Amino acid sequence: MASLTGPRGLINRLPIVHQLRQSVGLQRGMLIAGLVITGLFVLTAILAPLLAPYGYSTLRDEDGVFGAQQPPGGKHLLGTTVGGYDVLSRVIWGTQTALIVIIVAVVLSIFLGVFLGLVSGYIGGWVDRVLVVIADGVYAFPSLLLAIVAAIAISGGQSSFWGGIMAAAISITVVFIPQYFRVIRAETVRIKSEAYVESAMVIGSSAPRIMTQHVLRNATRTLPLIFTLNSSEAVLTLAGLGFLGFGIEPTAAAEWGYDLNKSLSDVTSGIWWTSLFPGLAIVLAVLGITLVGESLNDLADPRLRTRRRADVAPAPTAAASVVPGGSLTDAVDLDSLEARS
């Protein structure tokens, strides 16, 4: 009992630690790899001011102008871009931009999607039908196209640091809301018919209390899985907006998609470093978050979660007795009786 309530027991009950102890084999390897990559991504974003040798918009130092398209080496370990920016600094600062957009976009999506799904599933009627039609209509649009339209409507395509981040985050939020709405609505419709919810209605509990105390806490169990999967999609959508020219201005923040767009002409000229490292940053960030999300999704599936038990060899069982008062070894040998007769 002490192990369940002590510090070690509390640590083992943490979400990621619990899933890590629950995983096995390749599943555990994927989860650990995803956690390591995602952890490095988050730490780089937090420590960007300390890790980056220059600012994201710095073009010169005490020795003068950096120069455009300088090869890797010397003061610029990853070279410089066509605009004269340090590639390493832009990649590091880009992690901070991506992390902020992920947090803002997913948090806004969760709050709005959960609220609308809860109201739609619990109230039902014409409210449910209207919200379902709107959500299905938004969900039918290609996500990147919808994000582009939202970005143009919000900021005209480009803006300052916080303006650009909010524009990109809100654009991604519009894409993600229907996903949370559909999941929460389906869970709410199912939970609403449970006995404990009907009992709360019978004793006179108000609708807001039932929705928050009984329905909401049981309908949000799958949100961490959707959160991780949507985080990787947010990175891709942000990079797509920047690549197409609807992202954040280069002097306001570093953004990987914008840097890839400006390096297109460099590829044909043999200048590989301006496109390789921003693209590699996008791939690693998406890969790490996706590995975590897919591993958590597998562990949440009871059919995959019991694979560990199935892989373990069954324990030997005692021989069942078919003879009253004895065991199989005590049974009379019928062959010997026939031989005597």
- In terms of pLDDT, which residue wins out, 92 or 168? 92
Query: For the chain, how are helix, strand and coil distributed in percent, rounded to 5?
Result: 70, 0, 25
- Mean per-residue pLDDT, 56-67: 81
What share of the chain in percent tops pLDDT 70?
Answer: 78
Tell me: the pLDDT tens digits for 293-317?
877 776 665 555 544 444 444 445 4
State the pLDDT at residue 158.
Answer: 54
Residue 193, phi then psi, degrees to nearest 5 = -90, 5
CB 203 within 8 A of CB 164: no
The CA dihedral of 121, 181, 131, 150, to the nearest 10 degrees, is: 170
pLDDT at 302: 55
Query: What pLDDT does residue 328 have?
Result: 43
C-alpha distances out from residue 261 to 239, 256, 258, 278, 325, Å: 10, 9, 5, 10, 84
Do the beta carbons of residue 112 and residue 177 sit within 8 Å? yes
- Calculate what percentage of the chain has a pLDDT beyond 90: 12
> According to the model, what pLDDT value does residue 72 have?
87
Q: What is the 3-state secondary structure (H, E, C) of 44-85?
A: HHHCHHHHCCCCCCCCEECCEECCCCCCCECCECCCECCCCC
Residues 6+ apart with CB under 8 A from 124: none
Candidates 3.30.390.50, 3.30.428.10, 1.10.3720.10, 3.50.90.10; correct CATH number of 53-58+66-284?
1.10.3720.10
**According to the model, what pLDDT value does residue 206 have?**
79
Residues 6+ away with beta carbon under 8 Å from 235:
98, 102, 282, 285, 286, 289
**Residues 234 and 105: beta-carbon distance below 8 Å:** yes
What is the C-alpha to C-alpha distance for residues 35 and 290, in angstroms, rounded to an integer?
Answer: 10
* Predicted confidence (pLDDT) at residue 39 exceeds the cutoff of 50: yes
pLDDT number for residue 287: 92
- Rg of the chain over Cα atoms, rounded to whole angstroms, equals 29
- What digits encode the pLDDT tens for the residues 222-244? 777 788 878 888 888 888 888 88
Comparing 94 with 11, the larger pLDDT belongs to 94
Give the C-alpha separation, 71 to 73, whole Å: 6
Query: How far is residue 258 CA from its own chain's centroid?
Result: 23
User: Which of 59, 53, 55, 93 lies closest to 76, judged by CA?
Assistant: 53
